[in-house]
């Protein structure tokens, strides 16, 4: 577990080279990493996200989620261009604060979910805010990438009943999410993992809280970390291969 965590941390550490920070000698009055010369808000520290935009002004969490969604979808679009199953965008990306009705039923509080019927994603904004505040920006970004990963599984035909198990779908979404995190890190579009922003927390983030901790549905933490690491190191094709599923114990009955 520890070795695996370190491995992934080093992958995400690649993002550090893309951070737009102040030079060593430049004045940064609000100490947000943007020197006054490039900071449109030199006395209001940038929060939420310092890499997707470079103005130095505080961003809204919603704006951050929207940018993550667009980046993940643009990334998939490029990856699947010319492939047998080209990417098609999700139909909607809906924030809620109290449970709302969707074509897949009423969504739960403190969750994020993908609905195959509508091909939409629904998330409790308090749920993402919790991870943003307590873990860091990588956590809600990963949750969004994981949910879009379910959409890609659907495009590929894995969501059809009894193609692969619910647990395998979850691990595949973790793998797809990991592949995006690695890509975002390499492209410098995601703030480097802050101290204390651990992969364990990432792996625990997302989907209905009531079922998240059930290893029979989602895999154990070790399974999820393994799936994430495979995605970060080997990219999306590895997430659909028989050797990927062979890494995990079959779902318990």
**Shortest distance, position 208 Cβ to Ca ion, whole Å:** 31
Contact assessment for residue 186 and residue 125, using Cβ atoms and an 8 Å cutoff: no
Q: Is 55 in the site for Ca ion (CB under 5 A)?
A: yes
Under the binding rule (CB under 5 A), the answer on residue 39 touching Ca ion is yes
Residue 96 CA: distances (Å) to CA of 45, 144, 162, 172: 27, 14, 31, 26
For residue 38, state whether it binds Ca ion (rule: CB under 5 A).
Answer: no
Region of 59-67, 87-95, 119-127, 152-160 interacting with Ca ion (CB under 5 A): 59-67
Binding partner of residue 119 among Ca ion, Zn ion, none, CB under 5 to 8 Å per kind? none
Residue 82 gets which letter from DSSP? T
Q: DSSP letters along 150-189, please?
A: HHHHHHHTTTSTTSS-HHHHHHHHHHHHHHHHHHHHHHT-
Q: How near is the Cβ of 119 to Zn ion at its closest, in Å?
A: 15
Q: CB of residue 212 vs Zn ion: minimum separation in angstroms? A: 9
142 binds Ca ion (CB under 5 A): no
> Considering only residues 12, 15, 34, 75, which one is a binding residue for Ca ion as defined by CB under 5 A?
34
Give the residue, chosen from 207, 225, 226, 232, that forms a contact with Zn ion under the rule CB under 5 A.
Answer: 207
Say whether 124 sits in a helix, a strand or coil: strand
Choose which of 22, 145, 173, 184 interacts with Zn ion (CB under 5 A). Answer: 173
Candidate segments 20-28, 50-58, 204-212, 232-240, binder of Zn ion by CB under 5 A: 204-212
CB of 46 to Ca ion, least distance (A): 5
The answer to whether 239 contacts Zn ion (rule: CB under 5 A) is no
> What count of Cα atoms within 13 Å lies in the side-chain half-sphere of residue 135?
22
Q: Interface with Ca ion by CB under 5 A: which residues?
A: 28, 30, 32, 34, 39, 53, 55, 57, 59
Q: Interface with Zn ion by CB under 5 A: which residues?
A: 170, 173, 207
């Amino acid at each position: 577990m520890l070795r695996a965590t370190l491995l992934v941390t080093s992958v995400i550490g690649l993002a550090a080279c893309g951070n737009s920070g102040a030079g060593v000698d430049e004045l940064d009055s609000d100490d947000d990493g943007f020197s006054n010369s490039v900071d449109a808000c030199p006395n209001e520290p940038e929060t939420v996200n310092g890499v997707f935009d470079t103005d130095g002004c505080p961003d809204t969490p919603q704006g951050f989620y929207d940018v993550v969604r667009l980046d993940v979808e643009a990334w998939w679009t490029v990856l699947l261009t010319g492939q047998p199953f080209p990417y098609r965008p999700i139909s909607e990306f809906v924030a809620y604060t109290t449970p709302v009705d969707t074509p897949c039923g009423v969504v739960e509080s403190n969750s994020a979910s993908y609905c195959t019927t509508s091909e939409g994603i629904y998330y409790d904004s308090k749920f993402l805010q919790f991870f943003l505040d307590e873990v860091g920006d990588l956590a809600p970004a990963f949750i969004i990438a994981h949910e879009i990963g379910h959409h890609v599984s659907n495009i590929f035909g894995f969501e059809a009943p009894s193609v692969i198990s619910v647990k395998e779908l979850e691990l595949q979404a973790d793998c797809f999410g990991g592949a995006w995190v690695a890509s975002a890190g390499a492209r410098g579009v995601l703030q480097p993992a802050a101290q204390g922003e651990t992969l364990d927390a990432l792996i625990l983030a997302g989907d209905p809280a009531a079922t998240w901790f059930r290893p029979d549905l989602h895999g154990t933490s070790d399974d999820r970390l393994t799936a994430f690491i495979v995605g970060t190191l080997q990219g999306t094709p590895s997430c659909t291969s028989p050797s990927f599923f062979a890494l995990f114990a079959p779902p318990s009955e």
